C-alpha cells in the first residue's frame, strides 16, 4: 500500500513539473513582447502600431532572409572544398554582402517608422533595451566573448534572473557582474539570460598540433587581428554614431543610409580577410588535422573559437 501511494505521489509530482514547464514555454514569447513594450511605457495604440510594423517588416524581408541562408550554406560548401576557389568564395561573399545590406536598410526603415510614433524618452528606452539591439540573440562568436543573450521578464518587477552556466539567481534589480565582463540588469523583473560562456581553451590542442604549429597559429591570429583592427574599430564607431543619429530629434536618414553602406563595405572586407586568414591556417595543418578543422562549427562562425580549441 505504501508503495502504491508513493507511486501516485511521484506521478503527481512529475505531472505538475511537466505542466509548469509547458506553461512556461508557451508564455515566453508573450512575456518577451509585453516586457519590452512595458519598459518603454507604450500606449495601447502604440503597441498595435509596433506590432503591425514588425509583421510588415518580417513579411517584406522573408525572401531576403531565405536567400541569405542559402548563400551561407553555399559558402560553407565553397570554403570546405579540398582546394577552395578564391574567386568563387569572394563572389559569394559579395552576394551575401548585398543581401545583408538590403536587410540592414530595411531594418533601418522599420526602426525609423517605429520611432515616428514614439516620444523622445521612449526612443531612448527602445534604443537601449536588448530587444532594440536585434532582440533575443545568443552572444556572437568570434568577438572576444562579447555579445548579448536572451532575457525576458514581467513588467511588474516580479520574477527572478537566471544566468545559465553556474545557475546563479538574482532579482533583476541592479547590476550583475562577473570577472572580465559586466552585465547590467534591466531592473524590470524576471529575466533569463543565456550568455556567452567563458572561452574554454582546455581542448585547444584537440588537433594534436605540434609546438611549432601552435606557435604558427598564434602568430597568424595576432597578425590577422592587427590587420583587421582598424576596420573593426571603424565599424564600432559607425555603429555608435548610427545609434545616436537614429534616436535624435531629427534623424538624418541620408547619413544613416551612408553609414549602412560603409558598414556593408567593412563587413565585405572583413569576410574576405577572414577567408584569406583561413587559407593560411590550412597550410599549417596536415591532411587529418585539416579534415577535423573543416568539420568544426567554429570554422564557419568565426576564427576566434576555432583557434581557441586547437
Residue-wise pLDDT for 136-193, tens only, equals 333 444 444 444 444 444 454 444 444 444 444 444 444 444 444 444 444 444 444 4
DSSP character at residue 243: H
Q: Do domains 2-137 and 211-308 have the same CATH topology?
A: yes
User: Residue 20: exposed, middle, or buried by beta-carbon count in 10 A (0-12, 13-18, 19+)?
Assistant: exposed
Q: What is the CATH number of domain 211-308?
A: 1.20.120
Q: Is residue 235 predicted with pLDDT exceeding 60? A: yes
Residue 11 binned pLDDT confidence (cut-offs 50, 70, 90): low
Which CATH class name applies to 2-137? mainly alpha
Q: Where are the domains of the chain?
A: 2-137, 211-308
pLDDT score, position 83: 93
Each residue's pLDDT tens digit, 22-39: 454 444 444 444 545 555
What letter does residue 138 receive in the DSSP assignment?
P
C-beta separation of 286 from 209 below 8 A: no
Between strands 161-163 and 168-170, the pairing is: antiparallel
pLDDT surpassing 70 at residue 307: no
pLDDT tens by residue, 56-114: 999 999 999 999 999 999 999 999 999 999 999 999 999 999 999 999 999 999 988 88
Amino acid at each position: 500500500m505504501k508503495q502504491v501511494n508513493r507511486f501516485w505521489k511521484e506521478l503527481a509530482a512529475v505531472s505538475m513539473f511537466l505542466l509548469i514547464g509547458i506553461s512556461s514555454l508557451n508564455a515566453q514569447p508573450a512575456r518577451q513582447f509585453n516586457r519590452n513594450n512595458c519598459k518603454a511605457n507604450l500606449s495601447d495604440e502604440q503597441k498595435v502600431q509596433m506590432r503591425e510594423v514588425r509583421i510588415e517588416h518580417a513579411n517584406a524581408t522573408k525572401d531576403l532572409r531565405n536567400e541569405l541562408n542559402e548563400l551561407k550554406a553555399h559558402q560553407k560548401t565553397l570554403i570546405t572544398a579540398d582546394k577552395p576557389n578564391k574567386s568563387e568564395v569572394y563572389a559569394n561573399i559579395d552576394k551575401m554582402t548585398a543581401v545583408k545590406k538590403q536587410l540592414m536598410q530595411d531594418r533601418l526603415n522599420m526602426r525609423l517608422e517605429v520611432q515616428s510614433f514614439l516620444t523622445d524618452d521612449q526612443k531612448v528606452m527602445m534604443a537601449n533595451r536588448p530587444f532594440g539591439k536585434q532582440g533575443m540573440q545568443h552572444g556572437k562568436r568570434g568577438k572576444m566573448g562579447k555579445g548579448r543573450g536572451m532575457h525576458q521578464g514581467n513588467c511588474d518587477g516580479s520574477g527572478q534572473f537566471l544566468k545559465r552556466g553556474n545557475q546563479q539567481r538574482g532579482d533583476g534589480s541592479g547590476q550583475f557582474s562577473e570577472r572580465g565582463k559586466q552585465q547590467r540588469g534591466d531592473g524590470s523583473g524576471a529575466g533569463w539570460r543565456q550568455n556567452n560562456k567563458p572561452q574554454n581553451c582546455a581542448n585547444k590542442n584537440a588537433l594534436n598540433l605540434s609546438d611549432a604549429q601552435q606557435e604558427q597559429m598564434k602568430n597568424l591570429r595576432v597578425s590577422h587581428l592587427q590587420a583587421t583592427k582598424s576596420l573593426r574599430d571603424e565599424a564600432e564607431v559607425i555603429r555608435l554614431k548610427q545609434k545616436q543619429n537614429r534616436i535624435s530629434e531629427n534623424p538624418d536618414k541620408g547619413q544613416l543610409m551612408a553609414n549602412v553602406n560603409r558598414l556593408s563595405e567593412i563587413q565585405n572586407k572583413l569576410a574576405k580577410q577572414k577567408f584569406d586568414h583561413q587559407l593560411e591556417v590550412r597550410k599549417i595543418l596536415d591532411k587529418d588535422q585539416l579534415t577535423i578543422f573543416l568539420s568544426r562549427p567554429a570554422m564557419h562562425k568565426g576564427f576566434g573559437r576555432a583557434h581557441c580549441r586547437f
